[in-house]
Structure 1
Amino acid sequence: MNSSMPRTIAFVLFSYAPGEPAGYERAVGALAEGCRRLGITPLIITSGPAEAGDADHPDMVRLSSLTLPRPILKPDILAALEDPEPVRVELRRLLADHEADLVVWVDALYGLGYLDAAPEGVPTILQVHKVRGDDYFDRAIAAATTVCPISPFMESEAREQGYETSAWTIVPNALFAPAQPAEREERERLRTQGPVRIVSRAEPYKGLAELLEALPADWTRPVELVLAAAGFEYWPGMQDEVFGAVRAAAVKRPDVVTVLEALPWQEVQPFFAGAAATIIASYEPETFCNAAAEAMSTGAPVVGIGIGNLPHLVADGGVMVSAEQGPGGIWPALSELLEDADRYHATSQSAVARTAFHAPDEVVRQMLAAVATTLTH
């Protein structure tokens, strides 16, 4: 990297698609926005085949040597990379042709970090969205200039699995826009009258059907759930199963529950700006939790199950219930928060303050500082 402010930063994630309702993809989109705000050109390298609308995203380049179906299943990935050399060669050529000054492998496998394909002299960052503990992960760590877990939870998970993390630097996921909280008067109106708004992809471990099943009989406030299908699944038909379970639970309470279509990335924060609060009901640990950060940036508190990164991210910007309480404990905790005006507004203000360092340009600066520190040692 020739200067403190590179001209081009490349992000490699073979499952990327603009607007994809998934954490890795959403994180890349926000970092690309941060680059643009700083006058840096983002380059996003992903797999083929080409899709309608690609021309609307000139910063995105598709690999011809790696094509994957949608939705993607892990066996598809391993089969497509059985002979990785053509992918490595093409990836290195693209990075050289586009004169990338810095390469961000978004994952050891999904971000192709294990291939070690950066041109000579170009520094690299391995993001850790998940601790894989396999050969892909080990090879990617060894090849990277800098390793950046996305949360304190990810760093602690790596330490628990025996990785030496003292030289790693936590760089959180970015928001698409800086925090923009509602005025106090509007926030008070939302506290008393606003809907509960939830944004999630269709994954069983998000606990959405269970959350709706636990809705108290006397609950009268609107609950608006944006549910979206991503371009990958853990097993065939997984997302259809989730949609079916959520809709079956929602139809039991048509008086309050509405299931909405997916939103573009840039519309999620404005959607949360009209919410009294949001809920994160995941019963498996969130490694970061973009939806929580997006809601907090508008002043909407987060109520959720206190596992994974959620307690680190939210802290006094929301309320956590125990895993033992589960979704049945979320609704009473939310009611108590909404009914206590002083506590609610203090929580809302804390939520906004905790997202101050998640503005897109700020997170890119943190990322550049991390690699600069590594290069000077």
Structure 2
Amino acid sequence: MTSISMPRTIAFVLFSYAPGEPAGYERAVGALAEGCRQLGITPLIVTSGPAGPGDADHPDMVRLSSLTLPRPILKPDILAALEDPEPVRVELRRLLADHEADLVVWVDALYGLGYLDAAPEGVPTILQVHKVRGDEYFDQAIAAATTVCPISPFMESEAREQGYDTSAWTIVPNALFAPAQPAVYEERERLRTQGPVRIVSRAEPYKGLAELLEALPADWTRPVELVLAAAGFEYWPGMQDEVFAAVRAAAVKRPDVVTVRQALPWQEVQPFFAGAAATIIASYEPETFCNAAAEAMSTGAPVVGIGIGNLPHLVGQGGVMVSAEQGANGIWPALSELLEDADRYHEASRNAVLRTAFQAPSEVVRQLLATVNARPH
């Protein structure tokens, strides 16, 4: 195996990828592809079919003809499509060879097809761990990968708790689309006293968004702007419609302060957060990384959330955590206290920026490369 300190092409395999998809895996790949371009590396994003009408606008994306999935994707659809995985493995290996990929990043054991072990001979591979699945797909993908890179301390600890040996794994965080760019003090102070609370999320029930809006205090007067988007996968049919309905039903009770907004392109999320006093992460199931929190922090907007999963690791002193027992009811008082305490607020803002200082897209690509170059060749 040769050194890949500066490869020509890095392939990212994620069969659910779509440009602008409001979901963690997809957004993470988009940021890494941007980092590749900044370093003069060609990104190759391999996803499933069928072809979309806008594919020509994304020359870095190629589709597998042997694997087609509907939108939204349900897990039974995935298992049915991969019942005979050999045609997918053969096509994937040929495609990676034809595009002369110097490094392959399996974005997930199953969703990233890491379990297929389809890299051409001699090409190093990275398995990203966005979720610890603890199944045969995960075990096969770990065994086949050159290096394993969990995206957070929480993912590493989850793997250890499930009995995996993580001693040779290297944590590499998800990338931002742009380097941390905090507002000047005067603007941040204006936002502290007058700015809106801004939230960005996909329509997923465990994000706790309807519950958060239901818990909004009667005397709350500051604007709350929620960007809510539908992704290309669901846990059950109609899941996202249910979330939209529940959120809108809660929002309509407070039309004086709550606005539900349409999805934003990936590159517009950080600028959106730059105009926020703070953001809220109300997830009542653990976040494995939490891109939205990192994006907000990179602008100096503190995070208030439920202290489970990776959120406490990511946020640190860049915001305030409440307990799972307090839940949504504890978030609003904690946020009020933070906004009212200027010294504490600005300290959290400074810490938030510092904690995202190494998540610029080119920096994270370099971190991934370092994990492979550190291995024996």
Question: TM exceeds 0.5?
Answer: yes
Whether contact under 8 Å (2:4, 2:369) holds in the other structure is: no
Structure 2 CA distance, aligned partners of 1:335 and 1:376? Answer: 52
CA distance in 2, matches of 1:195, 1:315: 22
Is the 8 Å Cα contact of residues 4 and 102 (structure 2) preserved in structure 1? no
Q: Give the distance between the partners of 1:370 and 1:324, measured in 2 at CA.
A: 39
CA displacement at 1:257 relative to structure 2: 0.1
Q: How does 1:11-22 map to 2 (within 5 A)?
A: 11-22=12-23
SS in structure 1 of the partner of residue 358 of structure 2: helix
Query: Is residue 128–residue 150 contact of structure 2 (8 Å, CA) maintained in 1?
Result: yes
- Kept in 1, the 8 Å contact 2:12–2:104? The answer is yes
3-state SS in 2 of match to 1:346: helix
Q: Distance between the aligned counterparts of 1:52 and 1:227, measured in 2?
A: 24
- Tell me which residue corresponds to 2:94: 93
Same amino acid, percent of matched pairs: 92
Task: Specify the alignment match of 2:105 in structure 1.
Answer: 104
How far apart in 2 are the matches of 1:98 and 1:88?
16
1:74-125 CA deviation, whole Å, 9 max, x = no partner?
0000000000000000000010000000000000000000000000000000
Q: CA shift at 1:27, angstroms? A: 0.3
1:180 and 1:297 in contact (8 A); partners too:
yes
Question: How far 1:24 sits from its partner (Å)?
Answer: 0.2
Question: 1:374 offset after TM fit, Å?
Answer: 4.4
TM-aligned CA deviation for residue 126 of structure 1:
0.2
Q: What secondary structure, in the 3-state scheme, does the structure 2 residue paired with 1:64 have?
A: strand
Contact 1:146 1:374 in 2 (8 A): no
1:141-179 C-alpha deviation (Å, 9 max, x unpaired): 000000000000000000000000000000000000000
Residues of 2 paired with 1:219 and 1:59: CA distance?
46
Q: 2-side partners of 1:181 and 1:37: how far apart?
A: 21
State the Cα distance separating 1:375 from its structure 2 match.
Answer: 2.5
Please report the TM-score for the alignment, with normalisation by the length of structure 2. 0.99
**1:180-233 CA distance string (max 9 Å, x none):** 111100000000000000000000000000000000000000000000000000
CA contact (8 A) 2:317 2:352 kept: yes
Q: After TM superposition, give the deviation of residue 3 of structure 1 in Å.
A: 3.6
Q: CA deviation at 1:276?
A: 0.2
SS in 2 for 1:245: helix
Please say if residues 127 and 147 of structure 1, whose CA atoms lie closer than 8 Å, have aligned partners that are also in contact: yes
SS of residue paired to 2:286: coil
Name the counterpart of 2:375. 375
Cα offset, 1:360, TM superposition: 0.4
CA distance in 1, matches of 2:303, 2:40: 33
**Superposed CA offset, 1:229-273 (max 9, x none):** 000000000000000000000000000000000000000000000
Residue 325 of structure 1: aligned partner: 326
Find the residue that maps to 1:303 and give its secondary structure. Answer: strand
Aligned in 2, Cα 1:332/1:202: closer, same or farther, shift over 3 Å? same
Secondary structure of the residue aligned to 1:111 is coil
Question: Secondary structure of 1:133's partner?
Answer: coil
Equivalent pair of 2:4/2:103 in contact (CA under 8 Å): no
Q: Is the 8 A contact 1:145 1:374 kept in 2?
A: no
CA contact 1:190–1:276 (8 Å) conserved in 2: yes
The structural deviation recorded for 1:376 is: 2.4
Q: Is the 8 A contact 1:107 1:126 kept in 2?
A: yes
Give, in whole Å, the separation in 1 of the partners of 2:375 and 2:51.
Answer: 36
Whole-angstrom CA distance in 2 between matches of 1:361 and 1:338 = 33
The equivalent residue for 2:133 is 132
1:40, 1:217 → 2: CA distance?
52
Cα distance between partner residues in 2 of 1:3 and 1:244 = 49
Taking structure 1 as the reference length, the TM-score comes to: 0.99
8 Å CA contact retained: 2:21, 2:231: yes
The alignment partner of 1:294 has SS state of helix
Contact 1:148 1:168 in 2 (8 A): yes
Distance in 2 (CA, whole Å) between partners of 1:165 and 1:9 is: 24
| 2:64 partner SS | strand
Deviation of 1:52 after TM superposition, in Å, equals 1.1
Query: Which string of whole-angstrom CA distances, capped at 9 and with x for unpartnered residues, describes residues 127-146 of structure 1?
Result: 00000000000000000000
Cα separation, 1, equivalents of 2:342 and 2:104: 47
8 A Cα contact 2:22 2:202, kept in partner: yes
RMSD over aligned Cα atoms: 0.7
Superposed CA offset, 1:310-329 (max 9, x none):
00000000000000000000
Q: Which runs of 5 or more structure 2 residues have no equivalent in the other structure? A: none
Q: CA deviation at 1:67?
A: 0.2
- Return the offset for 1:357: 0.7
Answer whether contact 1:9 1:40 (CA < 8 A) is retained: yes
Deviations 1:6-46 (A, max 9, x none): 01000000000000000000000000000001110000000
